[in-house]
Structure formats: structure tokens, C-alpha cells
Amino acid sequence: MSGRVLVGVKRVIDYAVKIRVKPDNSGVVTDGVKHSMNPFCEIAVEEAVKLKEKKLIKEVVAVSCGPQQSQETIRTALAMGADRGIHVEVAGKDYETLGPLQVSKIMAALAKKEDAQLLILGKQAIDDDCNQTGQMTAALLDWPQGTFASEVSLDGDKVKVVREIDGGLETIKISTPAVLTADLRLNTPRYATLPNIMKAKKKKIANVKPADLGVDLTSRLEVLKVEEPPQREAGVKVETVEDLVGKLKETGRI
């Protein structure tokens, strides 16, 4: 077992920011807006670093796909305890259309190249809420997957994963190499301390192009329009239950 864990981290608009749609409805405003690491990716990094601290794995590699600024996100992962980073450069039009399909192809290629024992991702990103990358990557690699993990424990060459599902909790045991996606209650990510940020400056970030990995970034999707949710309209008060039923029939609700 290589003892190497790959963690995917995505740079997204910070959760506290008020999102604004661009006037041309082509997307949301990202220029000059505060960005940070996707919260579920933080949880993924934390889990990987914890495994290393327990000496169950040997190396944590943080990976991010995106433009120059994605390096900041990798640095945050390094400050949390990852050993090195890989920045897959995707910019311009390619970045605008970058989605789970393309990212999962990249991740699959890297997981093979780096001989990873585990690939840990956040369960979904807070900007697109796709919840697909982990699953697609596992399929491309033909690896088992433990998604929505709220508890992970290594046992030899197997991984026990407690999953949060609609009905409650499900415990599964899968072989490695495997793909895991982190859910909210998996752990509480540590604060990057300033001395660690300083130490992280010395850690290496490798630059890779998708072409080097033999990945084709063409998108099968085209975004037609992005718009705000409709404004909530005022309600109407009615006097009696009959009136209510009448109004509901009127608007075609029943």
C-alpha cells in the first residue's frame, strides 16, 4: 500500500458572501468577491491529515483544478497539514465549463499516476451543489466508493465507512483503493495557524496541465441562463375555509 491519500479541494465563493447574478445573466459575479476552500473539502483535508497523524497513512497530497488563484486553496490545505500540492491548471473558457465530469477524469488520472490508496473529496461543492465528482471518479477508476461519510476507519486494506443516508446511518466495509466523500459530521476542520501557514510556504506545489494527463475538457453542457430565484410575493388573507379552498382551486393548486 502506497500510504498516499489524494484530497481534492475546490476554490469556491465564500459561504458568507451575498451572491449577485451578473447583469447579462450568464453567471454569478466572481470578480473581487471573497473566495475560500469549499467547506466539505476542508472536512476532507482534515480527515486525511488526521489519518496521517494517527500514522495510518504516510502522505497527504492536495489537488485543485482551476486558475492561478486555486493555488491559494492548495496553500490552505498545506497549512492544515497536507504534505504537497498539485495544481491542475484550467483557465478561461475551459474553467467556466469545468464540471464534475471533467474533474473526475482528472482525479482518476491523478489517482492512478500517484498510486493513491484513498481519494477523499467533499461530498459536494457549495457553488454548484452537484454531488457527482466523487461518484463519477470511482466509476471511472472502477474503485469502491464510500460517500456521505460521517465516520471513517481504516482496517488493514479495508475501510469501514458510516454513511449518512436518508433513512439514517449505513455502515459499509470497502476495499482500498477507494473513493470517499466527506459529509458535514465527519470532523471539525482545524484552524490554519499562522506558523503552519509559514511552514506551508516551503511545501511544494506541482503544476500539471490536463493535456499532460490525457484528459479532454470539452463540456457536454451549455449554461443558457442564470437568474435569481423569483421574489417572494405577498400573500393574501382569506376569511373562511371555503374562501381558501376556492382560491386554491382558482390558482390551479388543487
Partner 1 sequence: MLLRKVSQSSALCGTILRIPPVLSGGQRQAGVVALQNSRLYASEAAQAVLEKPAAVGSDAATKVENKAAAAESKSFAVGIFKGQIATAQVFPFPSVLSQEQEQFLRELVGPVGKFFEEVNDAAKNDALEKVEDHTMEGLKEMGAFGLQVPADLNGLGLSNTQYARLVEIVGGHDLGVGITLGAHQSIGFKGILLFGNPAQKEKYLPKLATGEHIAAFCLTEPASGSDAASIKTTAVQSPCGQYFTLNGSKIWISNGGLAEIFTVFAKTPMKDPKTGEMKDKITAFVVERSFGGVTSGPPEKKMGIKASNTAEVYFDNVRVPADCVLGEVGGGFKVAMNILNNGRFGMAAALSGTMKSSIAKAVDHAANRTQFGSKIHNYGVIQEKMARMTMLQYVTESMAYMISGNMDSGATEFQIEAAISKIFASEAAWNVTDECIQVMGGMGFMKDAGVERIMRDLRIFRIFEGTNDILRLFVALNGFQSAGNQLKGLQKALKNPLGNAGLLAGELTKRAKRKAGLSTGLTLQGTVHPELAQSGELTVKAIEQFGLVIEEMLIKHGKKIIDEQFVLKRVADCAIDLYAMVVVLSRASRSLSQGHASAQYEKMLCETWCMEASDRVMRDIKLLRSGESRKLFKNLRAISTALVENGGPVSPHPLGF
Q: Which of 101, 71, 96, 99 is nearest to 85 (CA)?
A: 71
Q: Note whether 207 binds partner 1 by CB under 8 A.
A: no
> What's the closest the beta carbon of residue 21 comes to partner 1, in angstroms?
20
Print burial letters for 143-170: b (CB count within 10 Å at least 16), e (below 16). Answer: bbbbbbbbbbebeeeebebbbbeeeeee
> What's the closest the beta carbon of residue 191 comes to partner 1, in angstroms?
6
Q: Note whether 74 binds partner 1 by CB under 8 A.
A: no
**CB-nearer residue toward partner 1: 16 or 224:** 16
Task: Give 102-106 contacts, CB < 8 A, sequence gap 24+.
Answer: 102/65, 102/210, 102/215, 102/217, 102/219, 103/8, 103/65, 103/133, 103/137, 104/132, 104/133, 104/136, 104/137, 104/139, 104/140, 105/140, 105/213, 105/215, 105/216, 106/65, 106/210, 106/213, 106/215
Residue with C-alpha cell 449577485?
20
In angstroms, the Cα distances linking 200 to 7, 76, 77, 118, 207 are 16, 8, 9, 23, 16
Beta bridge partners of 179: 119, 145
Q: Note whether 155 binds partner 1 by CB under 8 A.
A: no
Q: Note whether 75 binds partner 1 by CB under 8 A.
A: yes
Among 55, 165, 166, 201, binds partner 1 (CB under 8 A): 201
* Listed ranges 75-83, 105-113, 134-142, 206-214: which one lies at the site for partner 1 (CB under 8 A): 75-83
**CB-nearer residue toward partner 1: 68 or 251:** 68
* Listed ranges 74-82, 105-113, 118-126, 144-152: which one lies at the site for partner 1 (CB under 8 A): 74-82
Tell me: cis bond preceding 195? Omega within 30 of 0 counts.
no
CB 12: neighbour CB atoms within 10 A? 22
Residue with C-alpha cell 492561478?
68
> What's the closest the beta carbon of residue 98 comes to partner 1, in angstroms?
24
Per CB under 8 A, contacts with partner 1 among 11-50 are 36
In angstroms, the Cα distances linking 174 to 125, 152, 161 are 24, 11, 8
**CB-nearer residue toward partner 1: 12 or 116:** 12
Q: Note whether 197 binds partner 1 by CB under 8 A.
A: yes
Q: Note whether 105 binds partner 1 by CB under 8 A.
A: no
Q: Note whether 154 binds partner 1 by CB under 8 A.
A: no
Among 53, 72, 115, 157, binds partner 1 (CB under 8 A): 72
Per-residue contact flags (x/-) with partner 1 for residues 157 to 196, judged by CB under 8 A: ----------------------------------xxxxx-
Q: Note whether 124 binds partner 1 by CB under 8 A.
A: no
Among 41, 79, 110, 186, binds partner 1 (CB under 8 A): 79
Footprint of partner 1 on this chain (CB under 8 A)?
Answer: 36, 72, 75-76, 79, 191-195, 197-198, 201
